[in-house]
Amino acid sequence: MKRIFLSLAAALTFIATPVHAGCCAQPDVVAAVWGAAQWTATQINLYISKLAGVVEGTGKMIIQNQAESTKAINQQAAERAKNMELYRLGQQYQLPPDPCTAGAIATHGEAMHRAQGAISSSFQPGGSRSRLQNLRAADAYINSPIDAGPEARAAALVGAHSRHFCDVEEVKKYGGTRVCQAAGELPGADIKAETLLAGAKARPGDPDSYTFTQKQIEAAQTLIANASDPLPVRGLNKAEANTRAGVEYYSLALAGQAKMSFSQQAMRDALARRVPVPEGKALVAAITRGNPSAAAYYARLPHLKTEGISQLDLQDAEVARRYRNPQWLVDMSAASPAAVAREQAFMMALLLDFQQKQQLSNERQEILLGQIAAALTRMDMGPKLEAAYRQVRANPQ
């Protein structure tokens, strides 16, 4: 463009160059015409130069604007592609939006909660689950009659230990005796706290478990019996039960059983929370439906396909699949607002369930503390009251 204007200026300059007029032209007229033409050419050159600069600048501006527009269009296209990918991922990770699936989660969750209470009560002596299936030698010990004498109870206790729970050190010292016949399949399980809290282990270093196998359940039952009432009180015959001393003795025995029940109940509840519940499989199926990261996490639990899942293991998994699962963070970052809102609602419901269970746990702890306070009070005040009562009997007036 600039070259065109320069060519035009050159042509005008050529026109303005002085020419020799004819003989009839006057010199002054020629000079005046030439001067005017020179001035005109100068002005035109100046104008053309300015016009060329403006046109060139405008061209550059147009080209720059076109480049910026193209860049903006490309950025918008990239953003659209990114948003479409995020939307696709968001559609892939969706908590079940339909009421039927959400209702199934709540229904199966309630069923698991109720089952846990029934399991706990069934672990009482003589209950349906208290009959041992794998640890046969422990059956006579755990399910011995309530009024079995200390000698019979001790024999049953040691018999269960010698067949199932002897460790290597005991075998070295007592192997082949009545207290330890041979190395047990679950060494020390009847005397270790981890048997109840993390599952009986065949070898040191085995992983903890929140869903117990049948052998682990039975080992925990043996531990509870050992920890709560290894040597129960003696029973009475009918003749003894009809005496005044027999009545007083039996009243003390009942009081002792009532107090012991608080300790046993807490341990039975802890064991029941670790027992697989058949309803748990249906609940996990409802939770993982349409939820890839949850399905991937639950696939790591091999016992889910066999024993099922316990209430405690389910609670731990529901926390772990979020807090300890990087894929959940990836899925939530790509999830739609509706999916995020549903996930928040489920998490709030889970938190409420935890809080309610914590309240029940606090209640049990307060009851146990009350029992301890009552026992200490009787230990302190009982002898004093008995002494004061003897004074009253000795001085009736």
Domain ranges, ordered by start, for the chain: 2-91, 130-274, 275-397
Residue 47 has pLDDT above 70, yes or no: no
d(Cα 100, Cα 10) in Å, to the nearest integer?
A: 88
* C-alpha to C-alpha distance for 222 and 227, rounded to whole angstroms: 9
Q: Give the alpha-carbon dihedral of 267, 273, 279, 280, to 10 degrees.
A: -160
pLDDT at 58: 58
Tokens at 244, concatenated: 């005044």
Q: Could you identify the residue written with the tokens 């011995």?
A: 144
What average pLDDT does range 117-133 have in this prediction? Answer: 77
Per-residue model confidence (pLDDT) at position 186: 92
pTM: 0.65
Backbone φ and ψ for 277, nearest 5 degrees, come out as -115, 130
Tokens encoding 206:
């085995």
The most confident of the ranges 1-5, 9-13, 105-109, 251-255 is: 251-255
Contact of 255 with 261, CB cutoff 8 Å? no
pLDDT at 211 over 80: yes
**Cα separation of the two ends of the chain:** 138
d(CA 273, CA 196): 10
371's CB contacts (< 8 A; 6+ apart) are 259, 262
* Token pair listed for 303: 């016992």
- The pLDDT value given to residue 189: 92
Q: What is the mean pLDDT of the chain?
A: 76
Q: Mean pLDDT across the stretch 187-214?
A: 90
Report the alpha-carbon distance of residue 104 to residue 110 in Å, rounded. 10
Name, of 54-68, 89-103, 107-121, the range with top average pLDDT. Answer: 107-121
List, for residues 341-386, the tens digit of each pLDDT value: 877 887 887 888 788 888 878 887 888 788 788 888 888 888 888 8
pLDDT over 90 percentage in the chain: 8
Q: How confident is the model at residue 165 (pLDDT cuts 50, 70, 90)?
A: very high
CB-side exposure of 141: number of CA atoms within 13 Å? 29
Q: Are 275 and 119 in contact (CB under 8 A)?
A: yes
pLDDT band at 52 (very low <50, low <70, confident <90, very high): low
Where residue 32 falls among pLDDT bands split at 50, 70, 90?
low
396 compared with 39, residue with greater pLDDT: 396
